[in-house]
Chain A
Amino acid sequence: GQNIDQPTEMTATEGAIVQINCTYQTSGFNGLFWYQQHAGEAPTFLSYNVLDGLEEKGRFSSFLSRSKGYSYLLLKELQMKDSASYLCAVMDSNYQLIWGAGTKLIIKP
């Protein structure tokens, strides 16, 4: 079966760094996405990785290792507005997105 695993909840301090991990097992792979979702709102796109390595975009970076079925989202210089759920999703061989359950990130002052 297809499976995406990520922690349910994480807590971090304003100004710090946090890493949210995601492991996956899917039928085929056409890329891994990270989305941010604030409560009561739709997800917004953060990153897309299809090749191994680190993609940096401002305060956010995303890493992928296809051989390990593993990705992480790294958030630096945390701000209170980063409090949200972070969703990991993998595009399978049929170009369907398989979604993780999301990681709720709580930022404390």
Chain B
Amino acid sequence: GAVVSQHPSRVICKSGTSVKIECRSLDFQATTMFWYRQFPKQSLMLMATSNEGSKATYEQGVEKDKFLINHASLTLSTLTVTSAHPEDSSFYICSARGLAGADYEQYFGPGTRLTVT
């Protein structure tokens, strides 16, 4: 159990276009979803935390108008990279935390490799 999927797994887009990444919890309800970015040979960097039905909380330095996050249901969150630039090329990973009170663990999706040309 506790499977999180991401789509697409890889995407190449042109500079100036927008890209949407989906994160789904397949067999549990995720009250909280997290979006991370990871550059090569670096650790995970939390971009934002989203709770179902409310606005996402963005980390310092992350532009909320550029990285649009929607957590419309307990099983789906989306990250839209708007007006993408080559420096946005990175590995984007989502994770989800469940409803159960003792469920402290974050379950990670497989990640999305974004390349902006």
Contact = CB atoms under 8 A, between A and B. Distances in A.
Contacts of A54: none
Contacts of B43: 87, 99-102
Interface in A81-109: 87, 91, 95-97, 99-102
Contacts of A87: 43-44
A97 B46 contact: yes
Nearest to A104: B41
B47 to A, nearest CB: 12
Contact of B109 (A33, A42, A97, A101): A42
Interface size class of B (residues with CB under 8 A): 10 to 19
A42 B110 CA distance: 5
B42 A48 contact: no
Interface string B28-67: 0000001000000011111001000000000000000000
B49 A42 contact: no
Contact of A43 (B44, B45, B46, B104): B44
Nearest to B59: A96
B59 to A, nearest CB: 9
Interface in A17-41: 30-31, 33, 40-41
Nearest to B6: A42
B104 A41 contact: no
B110 A41 contact: yes
B49 A48 contact: no
Given A31-B104, A91-B104, A41 B111 contact: yes
A100 B107 CA distance: 18
Interface of B: 34, 42-46, 49, 91, 93, 104-111, 113
6 contacts: A31-B104, A41-B110, A41-B111, A43-B93, A95-B104, A100-B43
